[in-house]
Amino acid sequence: MMSSTSFSQEKIFLPPPKKSKFSLDEALDVRKSIRDYPSLPLTLEGVSNLLWAGYGKNRWGRKTVPSAGALYPIFLYIVVGEVEGLDKGIYLYNSGEHTLTKLSSEDTRFQLARASLNQRWVKTAPLLIIISADFSITTSHYGKRGVRYVWMEIGYVSQNIYLEATALKLATVAVGAFYDEEVKEILNIKKEPLLIMPVGRPKEGRW
């Protein structure tokens, strides 16, 4: 039997997302931002579901979010602190393949928290999802108007991650307050970081 994590050409194949029975209305009803995460690891299955919900492919071969002109300018990076079956480090999500590419073995949560005005939850979360974009993908087609399209698309992705985290009984918050250039330098990326979403388990009894 193949293990849930298998390596080939530096790619990590994520387990297929499990479709839960948690209803959309229930998720909308109980969602909230949560910033306190006890020091407990996430599962690889949880990471798989969160990334799939944020920017994965659905049964029609479409993504889980709309995109102006179907241009798809968003890129999801993750910083792994404590995830069962995944080494610490920085990874890029390849949404078409539902795989991760490892970019670095560095646990950069502490530096990212400093670049985020010392927001504690950026340091303590076992996982950070960095929603970033290449604006030129959309502006080369739509000109200046493409900028607003990219901002809108970030919102769809973030809300999907919020709702999926809720359905998985995990906790998250959208963090928009950070120094862009510092975050790019820490992650060694050229894409524009627009939101950092720390994810953890909620404190017992929170939900």
Ligand X SMILES: Cc1cc2nc3c(=O)[nH]c(=O)nc-3n(C[C@H](O)[C@H](O)[C@H](O)COP(=O)(O)O)c2cc1C
Is residue 33 involved in binding ligand X (CB under 6 A)?
yes
**Strands annotated E in 2-145:** 7-8, 11-13, 74-80, 89-94, 99-104, 127-133
Using the minimum distance from each CB to ligand X, give the nearer residue, 14 or 195.
195
In angstroms, the CA 69 to CA 56 distance is 17
Lookup result for tokens 């996982």: 127
Q: Which of 18, 177, 188, 207 touches ligand X by CB under 6 A? A: 177
Binding mask 130-159 for ligand X (x = CB under 6 A): ------------------------------
Whole-number minimum distance, CB 184 to ligand X, in Å? 17
| CB 44 to ligand X: min, Å | 26
- Order of all β-strands in the sheet with 127-133: 7-8, 11-13, 99-104, 89-94, 74-80, 127-133, 192-200, 171-172
91: nearest Cα among 144, 147, 14, 38:
14
173 contributes a contact to ligand X by CB under 6 A: yes
- Please, which residue, 51 or 196, has the CB nearer to ligand X? 196
Asked whether position 99 contacts ligand X by CB under 6 A, the answer is: no
Q: Cβ closer to ligand X: 175 or 183?
A: 175
**Does residue 40 touch ligand X according to CB under 6 A?**
no
Report the distance separating Cα 121 and Cα 200, nearest Å: 9
Asked if residue 203 binds ligand X (CB under 6 A), the reply is no
Q: Which position among 18, 19, 32, 203 is part of the footprint of ligand X (CB under 6 A)?
A: 32
In whole angstroms, give the CA distance from residue 176 to residue 33.
13
Q: Is 28 one of the binding residues for ligand X (CB under 6 A)?
A: no
List contacts with ligand X (CB under 6 A).
32-33, 35, 119, 173-177
